[in-house]
């Protein structure tokens, strides 16, 4: 008390401020610890299904029928050998999924970006109605268009053809909306006008100047497009009847229907192979997702 009484008001104020800052620092540290613990728990919950699939891929069916494992086994080669002996072309289904996904990503991302760019940059009478139409199309469930899509594909001769799932990817209203929001928030129109004054052509401006600036949004939409096309099961099951045109989800369904009760191990091995490209692609582009989504929603 004598020491505090000897302090000047300024020194006492400084001492109290330092104590308050230390207390707030401790509180922030405790809160941060709990946040990290929560994030770690959410991370473990998120990766657990994938980890279980990978573990089960290395276990035999007899093991999986009697117990649950969190450690890897030694039956991966046996499961792969069993899959090779089945009357299914796993490699062909894998390649079909790759072709469809690659084509869908390119058409969806590029054409949607070009459409969004036109909606933002150019002034024409149908500009707002077209954007409203895009919003309305987003609200329409895919299941409502099944009959029309089937009739269209059959009418243009793409029935039982993987191109039936590549070409329609160019019409992606959700991607158009997202890219439009991103362009509005991050691409100044004065920047484009300056390029025009310098004599640059419109496609040159878009491909050389604008497109690189859209990289975070492009990567984000590429991941979403990959997930949608890679996991697409309902329509390919209806359209793709020939075994040579099956995609991985269709093949997984056939394997499940034939061997699910007898060969669980090989089925999980096939599932692990099917999800591996998604995990790799996501790992390569994941750093763009948060940046792309955050910047794309700044203003509209």
pLDDT at position 39 over 90: yes
Per-residue confidence (pLDDT) for residue 260, from 0 to 100: 47
User: In angstroms, rounded to a whole number, what is the distance separating the alpha carbons of residues 158 and 129?
Assistant: 31
Per-residue confidence (pLDDT) for residue 262, from 0 to 100: 65
Per-residue confidence (pLDDT) for residue 217, from 0 to 100: 87
Q: Of 83-92, 102-111, 131-140, 270-279, give the lowest mean pLDDT range.
A: 83-92
pLDDT at position 258 over 60: no
Cut 0.85: pTM above it: no
Surface-to-core class of residue 274, CB atoms within 10 Å of its CB (0-12 exposed, 13-18 middle, 19+ buried): buried
pLDDT band at 6 (very low <50, low <70, confident <90, very high): low
pLDDT at position 298 over 70: no
Half-sphere exposure of 178 toward its Cβ, with a 13 Å CA cutoff?
26
pLDDT average, residue stretch 90-119: 91
User: In angstroms, rounded to a whole number, what is the distance separating the alpha carbons of residues 38 and 139?
Assistant: 34
pLDDT average, residue stretch 16-24: 84
pLDDT band at 269 (very low <50, low <70, confident <90, very high): confident
How do residues 52-99 score in pLDDT, each as one tens digit? 999 999 998 888 888 888 888 888 888 888 887 777 788 888 899 999
Residue 289: φ, ψ to 5°? -65, -55
**Residue listed under structure tokens 């919003």:** 135
């Amino acid at each position: 008390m004598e020491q505090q009484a000897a302090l000047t008001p300024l020194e006492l104020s400084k001492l109290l401020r330092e104590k308050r800052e230390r207390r707030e620092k401790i509180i922030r540290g405790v809160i941060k610890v709990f946040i990290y613990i929560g994030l770690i728990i959410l991370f473990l919950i998120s990766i657990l299904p994938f980890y279980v699939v990978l573990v089960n891929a290395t276990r035999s069916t007899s093991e999986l029928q009697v117990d649950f494992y969190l450690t890897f086994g030694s039956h991966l080669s046996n499961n792969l050998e069993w899959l090779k002996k089945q009357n299914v072309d796993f490699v062909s289904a894998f390649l079909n999924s790759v072709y469809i996904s690659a084509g869908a990503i390119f058409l969806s991302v590029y054409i949607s970006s070009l459409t969004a760019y036109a909606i933002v940059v150019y002034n024409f009478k149908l500009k707002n109605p077209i954007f409203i139409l895009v919003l309305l199309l987003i609200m329409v469930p895919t299941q409502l268009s099944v009959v029309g899509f089937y009739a269209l594909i059959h009418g243009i001769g793409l029935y039982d053809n993987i191109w039936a799932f590549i070409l329609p990817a160019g019409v992606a209203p959700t991607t158009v909306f997202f890219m439009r929001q991103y362009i509005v928030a991050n691409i100044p129109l004065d920047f484009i006008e300056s390029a025009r004054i310098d004599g640059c052509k419109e496609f040159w401006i878009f491909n050389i100047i604008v497109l690189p600036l859209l990289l975070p949004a492009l990567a984000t939409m590429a991941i979403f497009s990959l997930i949608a096309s890679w996991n697409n099961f309902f329509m390919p099951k209806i359209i793709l009847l020939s075994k040579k045109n099956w995609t991985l989800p269709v093949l997984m369904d056939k394997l499940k229907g034939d061997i699910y009760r007898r060969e669980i191990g090989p089925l999980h091995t096939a599932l692990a192979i099917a999800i591996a490209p998604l995990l790799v692609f996501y790992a390569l582009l994941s750093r763009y997702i948060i940046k792309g989504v955050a910047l794309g929603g700044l203003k509209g």
